[in-house]
Every structure is written in structure tokens, then in C-alpha cells.
Amino acid sequence: MKRLFKRRGARQPGWMAVSMQPGTLDFAHGVCEPGKKGAIRAWGTRNLADSPKDIERVAKELGVDRYQCLTLLPPADYHLLLVDAPNVPAIELKRAVRWRIKDMLDYHVEDATVDVLDIPMEPSAGARGHSMYAVAARNEVIQAAIERFSAANVPLSVIDIAETAQRNIAALFEPANRALGLLYLWPKQALLTISFRGELYLARRIDVGADHLQASSAEAMNRVLLEVQRSLDHLERQFPFLSMAKLLLAPEPRSTGLIGHLSANLGVAVEPANLREVIDFGEGTEPEGEAAWRMFHLLGAALRNEIKAL
């Protein structure tokens, strides 16, 4: 797909990803071109008072008006739903997907902003049906994000999600013609993505996070192991043309021991995701430790490289 929740106002090449939290503004400026290493030209955190004027002040200091800007929705603010792809012309696709997901939401579908992510078929599949992801968020959530940026005179072009941001980083690690898994730990949840040739084939949230694992819970370790194995089994059944290269574990806030547990029990190589292998941080300092964990999805969002449309 081209953009999630698209808005007008394209700027010069490169993306400035901005995340506003109470008391802080995180940012990352990235450039990603086909066939080249990803580049993060700047990243960091600024303290601020939670007011439009102070946000505007910080935005001016960073010169965000020179870039296309994007932000990420919090994971709790949207649904990512797997649906059968409707057999309709492209112009009718989103309307057809709305109909497909209307009973999957806990609010009226007319109150939702909806976009789609296609899951490419095997070339030999012919006209056989396939699946796609529908992204749905309440209109009021999207509008609130737009208004917050507008009030601070920050040019917002795209509202993105963690799954595609994570896919952007995974795509940089992918070996040629092999699929790659990437696992990220939020405090209370984990996000597993599997991508192939830069496309998202699987995205799954697991109800175990860093907090559970840091409590040295064997049960939590085994729960993650089980859910990852189930996901790999599902991938093998649904996409037999994919060959898994390895599973990467994203930076953690603190070591959980999960990588050792997965390595010992999965039938696929498990390695840490070393960002410096695939991202050029230029003359700046790359984020490490807790900063790399906290900034991970913002870095991925800044490394957008989407030139294809459905």
C-alpha cells in the first residue's frame, strides 16, 4: 500500500517521525532508498510542557517544517484485522473491506477510518483468493492526532502503525528470497511480524511482555515460545512458498533471557537485531539499551520506503 491514513501536504524527501507523550517529544529523521542501507540522520527526545505552544517551539527548533512528518498510533488505538481479500475493483476495495470488518469492531464501522495492507500471493497461485490486513481506528482518534499536530503547526502527512514500522526494519535485515521474523517486547505485550521481500505476511500480538519476562517467569517464557511456534506453523501452512531465514529479537529495555530460551527450543535461528548492521546513523550516536527499545518503532516509521500501490 502507499500510505496509511493518507493526508495531503508532501514535503521534501525523508521522513520525520514524531511521537508526543506527556512531557516529552520523541523524533527520528530517516531516509530509506531501495537497495541502500537505511539512514537515520537525527533522533532524540525533547522535554516539553503539554501545550500546543511548547510543542510548536520544540518543532521549530527541530525544523520539522522541512520534512514530511508522520506519527504512530498507540497500539491500543487501532485494530489490525485479517480478512479475505474482496474480489472487487481497486476503487471499491476499501468499501468492500468495511463490510467485511463491520462485525469485528466494538463500534460502528461508519465511525472508523479504514485502510488496507495487501498480503501478496505466490506467483503460481493464479486467481486463487488471498488475504489482506484491514487497519481500523476510530475517526475521533485520527482526528485528535491531526488536531494536536495542527495546533502546534507541525505538518502531519501520515499516521502509521507499529506493525508496518516494524516491517520497515525487518525488510532491511531480510536475506534475498527468505522470510524473516522480528519480535518486539512492549511492557505488557509482544509483537511478532514476519515479512518477505518487504511485505508483511504475518503480524501477531502476544499477551506477554517485557514486564512478565523480567520477572523471570518460566511460564511467560514458555507462553512466548508457544505463540511464536504456532505462528511459524501457521506461516508454513498458509504460505508454503516462504522459507524462514531466522527470527530476530528487537532491543529490550533490559535483558530478559528470552533469546536464549527461543534459541534452545525453536527450529529456526534466533539472533538479536543489531540495528547498526542495517542502519547508518551517520555522525550521530546510535540509540542503545533502553533508548533503542523505546525508539525502535519510531525509527522504523521514519524508514518508510513504500512506492507501490495496491
DSSP line for 268-286: S-EEE--GGGTEE-TTSPP
Residue with cell 527470527: 247
| Helices 290-302 and 162-173: angle between axes, nearest 10 degrees | 90
Query: Quick one: how many helices (H) and strands (E) in the chain?
Result: 8, 14
What cell numbers appear for 202 in the block?
Answer: 504475518
Supply angle C-alpha 139, 140, 142, rounded to 5.
65
Distance separating alpha carbons of residues 30 and 281, to the nearest angstrom: 9
| Helices 218-238 and 258-265: angle between axes, nearest 10 degrees | 50
Distance separating alpha carbons of residues 143 and 139, to the nearest angstrom: 6
Tens-digit pLDDT profile for residues 237-271? 999 999 999 999 999 999 999 999 999 999 999 99
pTM of the model as a whole: 0.92
Tens-digit pLDDT profile for residues 151-195? 988 889 999 999 999 999 999 999 999 999 999 999 999 999 999
What cell numbers appear for 86 in the block?
Answer: 474482496
Residues of the chain by 3-state class (helix, strand, coil), percent to 5: 35, 30, 35
The whole-number pLDDT of residue 81 equals: 98
Greatest Cα pair distance in the chain: 56
